[in-house]
Structure 1
Amino acid sequence: MDAQVSMNDAHAVLRLAGRFDFKAHREFRDAVDSLLGQAGARPLQVDLGEVSYLDSSALGMLLMLRDKAKAANKDVALVGVKGSVRQVLDIANFSKLFAIT
């Protein structure tokens, strides 16, 4: 998986690409730390438009991001969600936990 953090207007954006699974744990954690370190960035966006696959460990990592963001008083939105990634998020009822577009 590839993870890149950038600023977009008032948003901090984490762009993910490739397979989002347990093997991506360290890279994701480092990207989350960078994302949360963006001064004044609110809300946070996780761009899943280029993610081809995600599993239950990826869902857990997204929940970890949500908890850390909440502790930092920041909101998290999942953007660019489509295809099988959307199906997995829908089955897991993530729309109750995140704004998803």
Structure 2
Amino acid sequence: MPIQADLTESGQLLTIKVSGRFDFSSHQVFREAYERAGLSPRRYCIDLQDTDYIDSSALGMLLLLRDHAGGDVADIRIQHASPEVRKVLSISNFEQLFTIE
């Protein structure tokens, strides 16, 4: 499965793991991963360890998640991005909007 979402037992952290291509074809599944009914974590982790491609649609999806999570006060960490994916995030100045680890 290209997108997996796991909520901690405490309900405080939602980890979304994206595998393969992160593009427009992932839009619906990615959105459903964080909009499930009753879901209100305080922190989000986007794990891109197995992501080999990211495009502008994916960047837009990350921005929609940020808005959903509270905008400027959202605690969203993007982790394990490959050098190629990190370059796209950097060019887009996402370091100013997300914590990239």
For the criterion TM > 0.5, the same-fold answer is yes
Give how far 1:28 is off: 1.0
Q: Can you give the 5+ residue segments of structure 2 that lack an aligned partner in the other structure?
A: none
User: What RMSD, in angstroms, separates the aligned Cα atoms of the two structures?
Assistant: 2.1
SS at match of 1:81: coil
- Give the count of matched residue pairs: 98
| 1:75 Cα deviation after fit | 1.5
Which contiguous aligned blocks of 4+ residues in structure 1 show a shift greater than 3 angstroms?
none
Give the match's secondary structure for 2:81. coil
Q: How much has 1:42 moved relative to structure 2? A: 2.2
- The equivalent of 1:62 in structure 2 is 62
Q: Which amino acid aligns with 2:64?
A: M
Residue 14 in 1 paired to residue 16 in 2? yes
Q: Which shows bigger deviation, 55-64 or 24-33?
A: 24-33
Pick from 34, 43, 48: which aligns with 1:32? 34
Q: How far apart are the structure 2 equivalents of 1:25 and 1:12?
A: 17
Instruction: Describe the SS at the equivalent of 2:64.
Output: helix
Amino acid aligned to 2:70: K
Are 2:52 and 2:82, in contact at CA under 8 Å, matched by a contact in 1? no
Residues 26-54 of structure 1 deviation map (CA, whole Å, 9 limit, x = unaligned):
111111213981x5x32111111111100
> Match for 1:63: what amino acid?
L
